[in-house]
C-alpha cells in the first residue's frame, strides 16, 4: 500500500466542509457568554499591564532635593563641573545614574546650577572659562555665562535647577532629563 500511497488520498480534515448548523438559542447564549467572560478577563489583564508599562508617568513627580556637596568647594566667580547621583536610580543603573551639571557661583555667593543638556537636542555643553561661554559640540549652540542663548539653534537658554543651601550643602531639585516642555 505504501508504495502507491499518495498524499492526495489522505483526508485533510480542515477541508471536509461545514458541520451541521448549531441549534440557535442555547448556542447563541453560550457564544455571547463566552465573549463577555473573555472581555472581562481581558480588561482584568490589560489594566495591570497598562499600569505597569506606563508606571513611569509621574507627572512632575520625578524630582527630589539632591546634594551637590559643600557650598565652599565652589569658588566665587567661577563655573565648575559637578555631578550628583540620580535620586531615583536603580541598583543596576551604576555609573549611568551619575549626572553632571554646571555650577556657577556668583561673587555674592549665590548659585546658578545649569543642566548639562543643551536646550537644542540635549548634547552635553562645555564651559570655556577663557571666553566665558558654554558651547555645544553637536550643532553649535552657544550660551553666555548666565546661561542665556548666545548663538546657534537652541530655542532658549540653558536649563536651570532650583537650588538651596541646607546646612552648608548646595542642594538642587533634580531627577529628570530636562526637555523643552519640562525643564529640570
Partner 1 sequence: MNTAPLKRFLNWFESRLHLAEVIGPSATHSVPQSARWWYVFGSMTLTLFILQISTGICLSLAYVPSGNEAWESLMYMNYELYMGWFLRAMHVWGSHLMITFMSIHMMQVFLYGAFKFPRELTWIVGLGLFLCTLAMGFTGQVLRWDQDAYWGLGVGMAMVGRVPWIGPELVHFVLGGAIIGSEALSRFFALHVFVLPGALFGLIGLHLLLVIKCGINETPTPGYHVNKKTYFEKYETEVKKRGMPFFPNAAARDMVAVAITLFLVILFAMLFGPSGPIGKPDPVLIDTAPDPDFWFMSIFAVLALLPPYMETFLIIGFPILAATILILLPFISGRGEKHWKRRPFSVIFLIFLMLALGALTYLAYIAPWSPVMNAWRGIPTPVAYVKGRTPLELQGAMVLQNKQCRNCHALKGRGGHRGPQLDDIATRLNTDQMIRQVIQGGGNMPAYGKNLSPESVTAVVSFLQTMHPDWEHEPAAGFPMSPRKTQDADPPVF
> Can you give the binding site for partner 1, defined by CB under 8 A?
2-3, 5-7, 9-10, 12, 53-54, 56-58, 62, 81, 83, 86, 88-90, 92-100, 116-117, 120-124, 126, 128, 130-133, 135-140, 142, 144-145, 150-155, 175-177, 179-182
> Using the 8-state DSSP alphabet, how is residue 59 labeled?
T
As measured in angstroms, the least distance from the Cβ of 126 to partner 1 is: 6
Q: Rank residues 28 and 152 by Cβ distance to partner 1 and give the closer one.
A: 152
Assigned C-alpha cell, 178: 530636562
Of residues 88 and 169, the one with the C-beta less far from partner 1: 88
Element (H, E) at 174: strand 169-174
CB of 111 to partner 1, least distance (A): 20
CB of 78 to partner 1, least distance (A): 14
105 or 176: CB nearest partner 1: 176
Report the alpha-carbon distance of residue 82 to residue 42 in Å, rounded: 49
Considering the complex, state which of residue 6 and residue 36 has its C-beta at the smaller distance from partner 1: 6
Please give the distance of CA 49 from its chain centroid, rounded to a whole number: 19
Residue 115 CB, nearest approach to partner 1 (Å):
11
Cα separation of 84 and 115, whole Å?
11
Long-range contacts at 166-169 (CB < 8 A, ≥ 24 apart): 166/65, 166/67, 168/70, 168/71, 168/72, 169/67, 169/68, 169/69, 169/70, 169/71
Calpha distance 178→184 (Å, rounded): 5
Output the smallest distance, CB 178 to partner 1, in A: 8
- And the C-alpha cell for 121? 537636542
The nearer residue to partner 1, 125 or 170, going by C-beta atoms, is 125
Least distance (Å) between residue 103 CB and partner 1: 14
- CB closer to partner 1 out of 2 and 36: 2
Amino acid at each position: 500500500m505504501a508504495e502507491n500511497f499518495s498524499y492526495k488520498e489522505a483526508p485533510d480534515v480542515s477541508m471536509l466542509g461545514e458541520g451541521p448548523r448549531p441549534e440557535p438559542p442555547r448556542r447563541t447564549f453560550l457564544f455571547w457568554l463566552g465573549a463577555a467572560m473573555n472581555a472581562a478577563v481581558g480588561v482584568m489583564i490589560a489594566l495591570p499591564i497598562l499600569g505597569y508599562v506606563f508606571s513611569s508617568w509621574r507627572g512632575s513627580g520625578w524630582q527630589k532635593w539632591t546634594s551637590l556637596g559643600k557650598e565652599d568647594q565652589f569658588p566665587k566667580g567661577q563655573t565648575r563641573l559637578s555631578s550628583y547621583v540620580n535620586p531615583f536610580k536603580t541598583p543596576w543603573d551604576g555609573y549611568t545614574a551619575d549626572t553632571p551639571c554646571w555650577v556657577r557661583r556668583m561673587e555674592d555667593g549665590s548659585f546658578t546650577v545649569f543642566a548639562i543638556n543643551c536646550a537644542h537636542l540635549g548634547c552635553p555643553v562645555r564651559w570655556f572659562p577663557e571666553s566665558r561661554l558654554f558651547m555645544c559640540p553637536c550643532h553649535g549652540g552657544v550660551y553666555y555665562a548666565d546661561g542665556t542663548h548666545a548663538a546657534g539653534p537652541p530655542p532658549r537658554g540653558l536649563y536651570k535647577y532650583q537650588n538651596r543651601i541646607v546646612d552648608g550643602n548646595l542642594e538642587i531639585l533634580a531627577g529628570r532629563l530636562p526637555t523643552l516642555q519640562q525643564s529640570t
